[in-house]
Amino acid sequence: MKNKTYVSGYFPDDKDLIIAIKELQEKNVDITDVRTPFPVHGLDKVLKMRRSRLPRAGFVAGAIGSIIGFGFQAWVFTEAWPLNFGGKPYLSVPSFVPVTFELTVLFAAFALVFGFLIRSNLGPGADNHIFDEEVTNDRFQILLEAKEGNAESLHESLQSVGALGVQLHEVKS
């Protein structure tokens, strides 16, 4: 197994972080990851992240939930076991609305949550490497992956933009 080398540095404030990221981008440094204690406003734009497709996944799953919910109730009352309620139609759409709605929400919620966990490699027992335990406290960390021994230059460029605690990390991949 080949070890991966990372260079990390942190900022005590989110404003400095964004300025530093912009400076690094001007120097054409590829930013592997940025880790923050809370969602930093505007960071996704600076890092040019694609918009998450989770809403779409939620919509599709919700639509499936609606179809299953409505379809199943319709099948039960028209095909499987038609019951006559005071001469009312077998396919009584209004009374199918609550269950259809609940299943829509349930399916969409599961799709969103599991979509989020799977896409982010998170889950019970997930063992993601944590470079600095203070990131979840008050450090805004920039993480750069070193390739072909450019660790030194990355180290320097991180320091030049004012990052604190610049370090090398060897991680088993």
Partner 1 sequence: MYVSPVREPLISGEKSYSKVTEEIYAPMTGRPGKTWYAGLTLALIALMFGLFSIFVTVWDGIGTWGLNRTIGWGWGITNFVWWVGIGHAGTFISAILLLFRQKWRTSINRSAEAMTIFAVMCAGLFPLIHMGRLPLGFFIFPYPNTRDVWVNFNSPLLWDVFAISTYLTVSLLFWYMGLIPDIGTIRDRLKNGIKKKIYAFLSFGWTGSARHWMRHESMSLILAGLAAPLVLSVHTIVSFDFATSVIPGWHTTIFPPYFVSGAVFSGFAMVLTLMIITRKAINLEDYITKAHLESMNKIIIATGSIVGIAYITELFIAWYSGVIYEQYAFINRAFGPYWWAYWIMMTCNVITPQLFWIKKIRRSFVATFIISIFVNIGMWFERFVIIVTSLHRDFLPSSWSMYSPTWVEVGIYLGTFGLFFTLFFLFIRFFPVIAIAEVKSVLKTSAEKFIKKGK
Which residues are at the interface with partner 1 (CB under 8 A)? 14, 33-41, 43-44, 47, 49, 51-52, 54-55, 58, 62, 72-73, 76-77, 80-81, 83, 85, 92, 95-96, 98-99, 101-103, 105-106, 108-110, 112-113, 115-117, 119-130, 133-138, 141
Nearer to partner 1, 34 or 166 (CB): 34
- State how beta strands 33-35 and 164-172 pair: unpaired
Nearer to partner 1, 17 or 166 (CB): 17
Burial 54-85 (b: 16+ CB within 10 A, else e): eeebbeebbeebbeebbeebbeebeeeeeeee
148 phi and psi, to 5 degrees?
A: 45, 50
d(CA 150, CA 48): 24
Minimum Å gap between C-beta 72 and partner 1 is 7
Nearer to partner 1, 120 or 159 (CB): 120
Nearer to partner 1, 55 or 162 (CB): 55
